Structure 1
Amino acid sequence: MIRRRPLLAAPLLLAAPSVAAREVADATGRRVTVPGRITRVFPAGPPAAILLYTLAPDLLAGWPARPPRPHEAAFMDPTAAALPEVGRLTGRDNTANLEAVLAARPDLVLDYGSVAPVFVQLAERVQAQTGLPTLLLDGSLSKIPETYELLGVMLDRRPDAARRAAAASQIIAEARDAAALLAQRGRPRVFYARGPRGQETALRGSINAEIIEFAGAENVAVGPPGARGLAQVGVEQVLAWDPDYVMSLDPAFIAMARQDPLWRSLRAVRQGRLVQVPNTPFGWVDFPPAVNRLLGLVWLPILFGLAPADGLEDRVAEFHRLFYHRDPDRALLKGLLAPAMGRG
């Protein structure tokens, strides 16, 4: 059984805002001068938007991909959820041009995710072309507490950042305890199905499936040597992998897999371990792979039988109050959690 650590205390009052411009360092060590008072931040992509929303929703310029849909907004701060789409600067569907960035009148641009050289170069290019300070933060799971602390310095929101860093540290430490227990007991093997047909997956080593390995399970999707990211697979390949669990964020896939003869022939499906990953307001495994994945680290040890399920609702509600700025309606929360235990 996993022991839950006590919540860590942290200051509740905001630090007084600075007046003069300040120099800060991002996760890559780049030193950037930011305004003394920051009132508006342009998120380069969905992970940055979620990170910023969880700490300072009042600074969010808008949503990079699309505004939250009504069923998602029901779990969020109404003012932030109603912000417009501003386009994105990173990812496969980058839609924001530099004129659109300037039109949003931000004080800085924030990116969150990979800190590989290509994204460092992107940050430097955006900064050079817009004249706006552009900061890049590391999106890996283990770095989340450090990222909050760093963002708190950047935005002059240290006390609020410290509260979220402490909560994230607690969740990550418990997940590591759970992973150690699974290593002794036997690691469950997981296939993560993406899309309505389940024909896309995240390969082992991908940020989209990082949470599976971090929680102590084994991602069965292994590509060629050095392969990372997303890949197309067929159900025949999944049958050969023979996972213990099949997980998906997509309810359309869950419904299809319960009816399709090939998917139904999987041992995991036959034994009731076809699992709907909670996905509202943001996914618990990825979609996007940001700080929303902390909830997945709370949930997976319960799914794998290492902790009782009866405390999950309260823990999720506690997370929502701190990170999503809204006490969730308990009926909506029960509906979100009901499919998540693989009992159907």
Structure 2
Amino acid sequence: MADAPFPSRRAVLAGAGALAAAPARAERLVADATGRRIGVPDRIARVFPAGPPAAILLYSLAPDLLAGWPARPPSPAEAAFLTRESAALPQIGRLTGRDNSANVEAVLAQRPDLVLDYGSTRPVFVDLAGRVQQQTGLPTLLLDGALPRIPETYRLLGEILDRREAAATRAAAAERILADAVSAAEALRARGRPRVLYVRGPRGLETGVAGSINTEIIEFAGAENVAASALGAGSLVQVSMEQVLAWNPDWVVAIHPGFPAHAKADPLWQALPAARRGRLVLAPGLPFGWVDFPPSVNRLLGLMWLPVLFGLRPRDGLAEAVADFHALFFHRRPDAAQVAALLGPALPGA
């Protein structure tokens, strides 16, 4: 699912018209995360991801089934962490989120066997999946994107795609990462929760509040999201420097690569004690963000990193663990220099 709610006043698909797709012959029934039972072909050879989170989930399990990238093709920097074949896949448009750009013709032109969405299972998104299925004639499945459900989601997708062994391997790895994150979070709460401000954009003035999937891993890791404590529930919000200074977070976690240079040159950001103490860090973002951009299984890397950042886990071993994760989930092991470049801005003094 995309990182913003579906805009209800806009059409789900442009140009639907009277176009009707010939539905694929259903060989078997499968259940998605919402409990909907949907007929899918017995052999699935091509899947259309509804948004970037679904594309990453699918790529991590079955890259050969991925029809293309919903938002844009990978940049050269991102492609360096992906398989050559997957990096060369085209942009196919997205069906969810603020920038939904695919229409019925674009979906059908890819000749997929099904449409896969991944993220929130709130009623609005269940309804969206039903409408996509009705308009395209393609089975459309919605899987739960919540962090704790990642192992369950892998196993379910493995059943759907007949990739059970590969799914079980990834589910087990995700379970280990989540269990360690829960243990670290308990230790962090006992020691004293760090107050964290997560910032997006080149100026660092967008953040997520309580209930936002964009900041889910901050709380999961045992830290306090200062914006959530101050602003309550919602999704993404704009904030002011006055608010940032008043919150006085212990850590600032940014995701835009241009933000650290901006903060270093901005007297207001430099007035923040966390910035002066070197506690303004850039979350790695290649090939996908470690915090939320987009919020998919790539966030497991963030749960490996944050306990190290907060001093609960040793730095020794993190680089190897990151390389192992990439090899399993992204199908390409980065070299030592690539991992060092990822971790340098993410760990003070690294």
TM-score by length of 2: 0.91
> Which of residues 25, 31, 34 is equivalent to 1:28?
34
After the TM superposition, which residues 66-215 of structure 1 pair with which residues of structure 2 at under 5 Å, given as runs? 66-215=72-221
Specify the SS of the correspondent of 1:109.
strand
> Which of residues 235, 248, 258 is equivalent to 2:241?
235
Matched, 1:38 2:40: no
Distance 1:217 1:40, change over 3 A: same
**TM superposition shift of 1:301:** 0.3
Structure 2, unmatched stretches of 5+, are 1-24
Matched, 1:340 2:313: no
Matched, 1:304 2:310: yes
Q: Which residue of 2 aligns with 1:54?
A: 60
CA distance in 2, matches of 1:69, 1:286: 18
Contact 1:39/1:59 (<8 A) preserved: yes
Q: Which residue of 2 aligns with 1:10?
A: none
Distance 1:312 1:223, change over 3 A: closer
Specify the SS of the correspondent of 1:137.
strand
Specify the SS of the correspondent of 2:93.
coil
Letter in 2 for 1:163: T
CA distance in 1, matches of 2:305, 2:151: 19
Distance 1:175 1:88, change over 3 A: same
**Aligned residues between the structures:** 326
Contact 1:273/1:343 (<8 A) preserved: no
CA distance in 1, matches of 2:156, 2:348: 37
Q: Which residue of 1 aligns with 2:281?
A: 275
Higher deviation after alignment, 294-303 or 19-28: 19-28
Identity of aligned residues (%): 69
Letter in 2 for 1:254: P
**TM superposition shift of 1:20:** 7.8
Letter in 2 for 1:106: P
**TM superposition shift of 1:225:** 7.1
**TM superposition shift of 1:118:** 0.7
| Aligned-pair Cα RMSD in Å | 1.4
Cα deviations by residue, 1:293-329 (Å, 9 ceiling, x for unpaired): 0000000000000011011110000000100000112
Contact 2:209/2:231 (<8 A) preserved: no
Consecutive aligned runs of 4 or more in structure 1 exceeding 2 Å deviation: 222-227
Specify the SS of the correspondent of 2:94.
coil
Cα deviations by residue, 1:48-76 (Å, 9 ceiling, x for unpaired): 00000000000000000001101111011
**TM superposition shift of 1:99:** 1.1
Contact 1:276/1:342 (<8 A) preserved: no
Q: Which residue of 1 aligns with 2:7?
A: none
Specify the SS of the correspondent of 1:42.
strand
Contact 1:109/1:134 (<8 A) preserved: yes
Letter in 2 for 1:123: A
Distance 1:224 1:32, change over 3 A: farther
Letter in 1 for 2:329: F
